[in-house]
Structure 1
Amino acid sequence: MSDEAPSLTAAEVAERAGMPVDQARRLWRILGFPESGDAPAFSKDDVVALETVMAVLRDGIVDLDVIYNVARGVGLTMARLADWEVSTLVQHVEEAYAAAGGSPDGDPATWAIDKYGKAFEDLIIHAWRRHLSASLARMESVRAVDEEAGTVQVTVGFADIVGFTALSNELTRERIGDLVELFEARCGDVIAAQHGRLIKSMGDAVLFVNDDPLAAFATAEGIINVIGRDSRMPDVRVGLATGAVVMRLGDVFGPPVNLASRLTNVARRNRIIIDAATADLLPGDQIESRPLPPRPVRGFGIVEPLTARRV
């Protein structure tokens, strides 16, 4: 973090960087920073950031709309990450010092970030580089099989906690926060172990994808084992659907995504429900699937879901 106090207005930052002030203001908004009007809310670091953007634009390959698009992803991701880091660090620091009968010098939040911020900054850059390499590899793989531009064949998984609304009304805020954190962490571990990708977490649910339907099924099994089979955790339901999805802005879109979510409404507690496309791709000598009675599924008409279990 910069120790320099804000001394520049938006207009001054834009002028020094050589960017029109209206474009600079829009970039800050997209990144999630509040409007500052004519107040001095910026530093030399902000000038350097805009100069970097201008250097990219001068190359002539990336235009301003692309910059805005990438900035939107950066802003959303970094805002959540910053809140996550601060709340986790501060809570731990306060608890640690309280147990020792003392307190850090000054505000716990500032103390924690000053002490550990650089370490986490290095970790963020390292993780970003690794994920960037993996994303490039996936794109090259899609091109190699001549998939339609922007689409990829995957198995989509959706896992959600059963009765979360009622549960959240019964538990304390601290307990529900711990539950959600444990749910996300355990699901993330299982998904990574099966070479899948956690697309997003919605508190009481996670959305993941896997290139291999069998690995996606193993992920669903794993989530049930670490969540639903744990007497301290609530039950879960998992739906799997396979097909072409559009991957954009770090998210996935398409019928398999919607169907996987809908199938969780059909699933019994701690059970896996799949669509016919997934059933056709799973090895029959390892996975047994059994059709359920056809039923209306919102957005898909009459669907015949299948239960699936390991032989």
Structure 2
Amino acid sequence: MNRSELRERLVQLILGGELNLTSAEAADKGGLSVEDGQRLWRALGFADTGDGVAYGDADVDALATVAAALDGDVLDEQTIFQMTRALGTTMSRLADWQVTTLVEQIERDVQAGRAETRLDAAVVLAEEAAPNLEHLMIYAWRRHLAAATARMEALGAADEELLSTVMTVGFADLSRFTSLSNDLDDNSLGALVENFEIRASDIVTAHGGRVIKTLGDAVLFVSDDPAEGTRTALDMVKQIAKRSELPNICVGLATGSVVSRLGDVYGPPVNLAARLSHVARSNRVLVDSATAAAIGDEFDTRTLPPRPLRGFGNISPITVSERRGFRSR
């Protein structure tokens, strides 16, 4: 195949067929108005295509699925488009992550002589690896959906408790990241960020917490239990400090009521945890008074002099460390 044929083959493999329809034609076949079709397209995170040919059978099936949901009695219109927007946002980030990772594999395949060009290598991956990755993606989504449902059920029967609950929020921040990033090339910087995110996420998960999002030089996580959240933070400091290829980190913890919305968390504890991480010394954990009061005497704590934290006035941060002779779980 020539380059043009390979590119067309790659698109067909990824999208599951040819693109031979305009937006109006796809919307009509899918049973939606052009306006609702464009609304769905935008909610998924895609730019308008105008009158160009940019859709295929898979797009028609997606439109038909939304049309059937809108005609049904289970989900209302607002919920359908909110879920679509959440799906588009999540899948956009996932696709970027996957492509970045696959590009590295493709480069290795070309350099090792397993493929003549990047396009050849990409086509092989799309033919042989994509179906299994798609299966794994659906499996992971179902497992996370089951876990999220269980968390919601455990919060309580009151409706207002389902989106707002008390959590310990952690914000782990790499020290001197800005100056460090100026001295690294793009590949080294990307490897450092990925290394940090992977190790921090593994530690949070091992302690039963959840990573809410990663921000390059920072990780935002939550824990249902202040003591376990504190163990998470201390373990993160200890494990990352051992890695010579990673800079030191600073961690802030705050406990209180947060609102969960569209996969993110909001509220004063989120902002306070970030502020505490910014004033913490390298390889130190700072907590607020609510967290310190909740963790009991399992840890050594020391109250520092008050200092101004933007949005909170003068706050006395509290350093926390493992009590001598105590081993973390």
Structures share a fold, TM > 0.5? yes
Q: Secondary structure at the match of 1:39?
A: coil
What does residue 210 of structure 2 align with? 197
What does residue 112 of structure 1 align with? 125
Q: Deviations over 1:88-107 (max 9, x none)?
A: 12212321441357536843
Q: Secondary structure at the match of 1:265?
A: helix
Q: Secondary structure at the match of 2:258?
A: strand
Q: Is contact 2:173-2:250 (8 Å) kept?
A: yes
Q: 1:188 aligns with which of 201, 206, 211?
A: 201
1:94 partner letter: E
What does residue 239 of structure 2 align with? 226
2:44 partner letter: L
Identity %: 47
Q: Is contact 1:24-1:50 (8 Å) kept?
A: yes
Q: Secondary structure at the match of 1:12?
A: helix
Displacement of 1:38 in angstroms is: 1.0
Q: Is contact 2:109-2:121 (8 Å) kept?
A: no
Distance 1:37 1:263, change over 3 A: same
Q: Secondary structure at the match of 1:107?
A: helix
Q: 1:301 aligns with which of 286, 289, 313?
A: 313
Report 1:45-84 matches (<5 A). Answer: 45-84=58-97
Match status 1:129 vs 2:142: yes
Q: Measure the CA separation in 2 of the matches of 1:174 and 1:261.
A: 27
Q: Is contact 2:45-2:88 (8 Å) kept?
A: yes
Equivalent pairs counted in the alignment come to 310
Displacement of 1:74 in angstroms is: 0.9
Q: 1:6 aligns with which of 4, 9, 19?
A: 19
Q: Is contact 2:241-2:248 (8 Å) kept?
A: yes
Moved over 3 A (4+): 99-107, 144-149
Match status 1:247 vs 2:263: no
Q: Secondary structure at the match of 1:264?
A: helix
TM-score (norm 1): 0.95
Q: Measure the CA separation in 1 of the matches of 2:162 and 2:191.
A: 41
2:269 partner letter: P
Q: Measure the CA separation in 2 of the matches of 1:288 and 1:145.
A: 36
Q: Is contact 1:90-1:112 (8 Å) kept?
A: no
What does residue 265 of structure 1 align with? 278
Q: Deviations over 1:60-91 (max 9, x none)?
A: 23222222211111111111111211221221
Match status 1:17 vs 2:42: no
1:251 partner letter: D
Q: Deviations over 1:107-164 (max 9, x none)?
A: 3333322321111111110010000001111111112588635201110000010111
What does residue 5 of structure 2 align with? none
What does residue 175 of structure 1 align with? 188
Q: Measure the CA separation in 2 of the matches of 1:146 and 1:46.
A: 36
Q: Is contact 2:106-2:118 (8 Å) kept?
A: no
What does residue 289 of structure 1 align with? 301
Q: Is contact 1:155-1:212 (8 Å) kept?
A: yes
Distance 1:83 1:109, change over 3 A: farther
Q: Secondary structure at the match of 1:182?
A: helix
Displacement of 1:29 in angstroms is: 1.3
Q: Is contact 1:104-1:111 (8 Å) kept?
A: no
Q: Is contact 1:105-1:111 (8 Å) kept?
A: no
Q: Is contact 1:229-1:235 (8 Å) kept?
A: no
What does residue 310 of structure 1 align with? 322
Q: Is contact 1:90-1:108 (8 Å) kept?
A: no
Q: Measure the CA separation in 1 of the matches of 2:223 and 2:241.
A: 21
1:291 partner letter: T
Displacement of 1:206 in angstroms is: 0.4
Give the superposed CA RMSD: 1.7
Q: Is contact 2:173-2:278 (8 Å) kept?
A: no
Q: Is contact 1:274-1:305 (8 Å) kept?
A: yes
Q: Measure the CA separation in 2 of the matches of 1:105 and 1:167.
A: 32
Distance 1:47 1:100, change over 3 A: closer
Q: Secondary structure at the match of 2:154?
A: helix
Q: Measure the CA separation in 2 of the matches of 1:297 and 1:201.
A: 23
